[in-house]
Amino acid sequence: MNNIRVRFAPSPTGALHIGGVRTALYNYLLAKKYNGTFILRIEDTDQTRYVDGAEDYIIEALRWCGLIPAEGPGFGGDYGPYRQSDRKEIYEHHASLLIDNGKAYYAFDTPEELNARRELEKEKGNHSFKYDAVTRKEMRNSLSLPADEVSQLLAQKAPYTIRLNVPSNELIRIQDMVRGEVVFQSNELDDKVLLKTDGMPTYHLANIVDDHLMKISHVIRGEEWLPSTAHHVLLYRAFGWEESMPAFAHLPLILKPNGKGKLSKRDGLKLGIPVFPLSWEGDTPEESFPGFREFGFDAGAVVNFMAFLGWNPGTEQEIFSLDELAEAFTVEKIGKAGARFDFDKAQWYNQQYIMATDDRKLAEQVRPWIEGQGYQPSDDYLTTFCHLMKERVTLFSDFWETGYYFFAPVKEYDTKTIRKRWKLEQKDHFIGLAADLQALKDYTPEAVKQCVEAFMEKHELKFGEVLPILRIATSGTTKGPSIFDIMALLGKAEVHQRLTQAFDLFDTFVKEQ
Ligand code: GLU
């Protein structure tokens, strides 16, 4: 495929939910696969829903995921401006083209008149009022009013909206790349407002004009936009652009973790899991959401996880880099059925990513998590730490959670195990072991191991009688990497200090019971 131009067109109305990032990802993948262009367009024409900081959030989220637009606000490109609020004249001009060719009309109905009409329909027991080919005749617009009255209203600068003149009795067929043929009947559709009283376009007009002017080849977006597509096709026809209309692909819904219903931003709060790429600080706690990044996820793992929410390569392979995803991606393999947001699976991906990451690179990623706790280990120390821990963690946050004792003093000892294993009469032996360890020249895992084994032999002790003691004395717990590795990394002086301090404490634990 040639000249692929796709756009991600979010409205900056708040944080970008994981479904939005998935839409961006699929667009990006299609562009990347065919050497096309991935465009970011900010659809901010609805000023009432505009939220400060949302655009920055969107861009930061895209950057974090590695989905860098080739064109967009702040990214350059020949088809700008890429923020719809900067394109007002373009939409006005295009709305007037449709007035001129009769595909749109002026509607002078005031909000009060429209409300009164809605109320009337309600009283009659009708579900809702639709401004369409039938009812427009009874409303105040340039199709129903005499021409001189229309001219007069315009001359008086009476407020108006511009509405699409939806034709009667037309079938609108869409070949959706995911769903196949979808057919709409034009009689079902209302005469959508294209230009509002304040001269701002609605989503429909701005979206179609921009997709056309920006030479968009494929529109990949969420399923919730499928019904709007009927109006969009009519708009392409109205402008005479049907020949160059983009192909459409509507993505399946993302479902709650239990598979029941659409995933909402509230589900994250309810379940204590992220459904946003980055944290979002709203005005209230109910409007603030945790992000995958802050939870301790690797961006690559999140991208990999998102790719599989509604798509799969048709093979057994599950681990893909962004480039590999682009290679494997095809719109035809996107499913129709809703995709369940399985947080366990997201964690599994993260685990796979951590295990597969080179120790040094991992250390760079883990560093902020440790520095955030007030510790500044050397690169070598952190690299070995990551090497020891990487098979035992799921999230970046786990490195500190389960391995804090590599940086900070032990904060809690497994007293239960100590009470079972610590023999007061053996304390002197253990103090002797601490001294032997202190005398080692090379403080390597092997040397420490040999020293401990010699000690066990000398006193006829078994592993189970010694290793848990050393583990708990140095790390507080019996879990974690090999005790010899832990000790070697902590270093001779630190281990000595921890052992001697712990052996005294162990006495008190045992005596307390
Ligand atoms: N601005 C719309 C949104 O917020 C874009 C929908 C589309 O891609 O056409 O999702």
Residue 117 CA, chain-centre distance (Å), reads 42
Question: Which tokens in the block code for residue 281?
Answer: 């600080």
Q: How far from 113 is each of 116, 122, 129, 263, 510, CA to CA, in Å?
A: 5, 14, 12, 38, 84
**Atom 2, ligand 1: which residue's CA is nearest?**
10
Q: How far apart are CA 254 and CA 222, in angstroms?
A: 9
> Does residue 512 surpass a pLDDT of 90?
no
pTM: 0.94
Ligand 1 centroid – CA 43 distance (Å) = 7
**Atom 3, ligand 1: which residue's CA is nearest?**
10
Does the beta carbon of 221 lie inside 6 Å of ligand 1?
yes
What does the pLDDT look like over 90-134, one tens digit per residue? 999 999 999 999 999 999 999 999 999 999 988 988 888 999 999
Give the residue range(s) of CATH 1.10.1160.10 domains in the chain.
265-354
**Atom 10, ligand 1: which residue's CA is nearest?**
10
Ligand 1 centroid – CA 9 distance (Å) = 5
What does the pLDDT look like over 300-354, one tens digit per residue? 999 999 999 999 999 999 999 999 999 999 999 999 999 999 999 999 999 999 9
Ligand 1 centroid – CA 41 distance (Å) = 9
Give the residue range(s) of CATH 3.40.50.620 domains in the chain.
5-72+208-253
Q: How far apart are CA 387 and CA 391, in angstroms?
A: 8
Does the beta carbon of 207 lie inside 6 Å of ligand 1?
yes
Looking at residue 125, its pLDDT comes to: 86
Does the beta carbon of 223 lie inside 6 Å of ligand 1?
no
Looking at residue 88, its pLDDT comes to: 97
Does the beta carbon of 325 lie inside 6 Å of ligand 1?
no
Following DSSP, what letter does each residue of 185-246 receive, concatenated? EGGG----EEE-TTSPBPHHHHHHHHHHHTT--EEEEEGGGHHHHHHHHHHHHHHT-GGGPP
427 is a catalytic site residue: no
Give the residue range(s) of CATH 1.10.8 domains in the chain.
359-401
Ligand 1 centroid – CA 23 distance (Å) = 10
Catalytic residue among 88, 196, 265, 427: 265
Give the residue range(s) of CATH 3.90.800.10 domains in the chain.
88-177+180-194
Measured from the Cα of 211, ligand 1's closest atom is 9
Measured from the Cα of 8, ligand 1's closest atom is 8
> Does residue 513 surpass a pLDDT of 80?
no
Helix (H, G, I), strand (E, B) or coil at 329: coil
Looking at residue 128, its pLDDT comes to: 85
Q: How far from 180 is each of 23, 121, 219, 236, CA to CA, in Å?
A: 19, 36, 15, 20
Ligand 1 centroid – CA 187 distance (Å) = 25
Looking at residue 265, its pLDDT comes to: 87
Q: How far from 366 is each of 356, 469, 500, 510, CA to CA, in Å?
A: 14, 29, 31, 37
Q: How far apart are CA 95 and CA 448, in angstroms?
A: 80
pLDDT band for position 269 (50/70/90)? confident
Looking at residue 286, its pLDDT comes to: 86
Other Cβ atoms closer than 10 A to 88 = 16
Q: What is the CATH number of domain 359-401?
A: 1.10.8
The fold of the 265-354 domain, in CATH, is Glutamyl-tRNA Synthetase; domain 2 (1.10.1160)
Residue 491 CA, chain-centre distance (Å), reads 41
Looking at residue 266, its pLDDT comes to: 87
What does the pLDDT look like over 393-415, one tens digit per residue? 999 999 999 999 999 999 999 99
> Does residue 437 surpass a pLDDT of 90?
yes
> Does residue 480 surpass a pLDDT of 90?
yes
> Could you tell me whether strands 161-164 and 247-251 are parallel, antiparallel, or unpaired per DSSP bridges?
unpaired
The fold of the 5-72+208-253 domain, in CATH, is Rossmann fold (3.40.50)
**Atom 5, ligand 1: which residue's CA is nearest?**
9
Ligand 1 centroid – CA 10 distance (Å) = 5
Averaged over 295-301, what is the pLDDT? Answer: 97
What does the pLDDT look like over 195-246, one tens digit per residue? 999 999 999 999 999 999 999 999 999 999 999 999 999 999 999 999 999 9
CATH 1.10.1740.10 fits 88-177+180-194, yes or no: no
Q: How far apart are CA 193 and CA 204, in angstroms?
A: 8
CATH 3.30.530.20 fits 415-511, yes or no: no
Does the beta carbon of 9 lie inside 6 Å of ligand 1?
yes
Give the residue range(s) of CATH 1.10.10.350 domains in the chain.
415-511
Looking at residue 163, its pLDDT comes to: 98
Looking at residue 440, its pLDDT comes to: 97
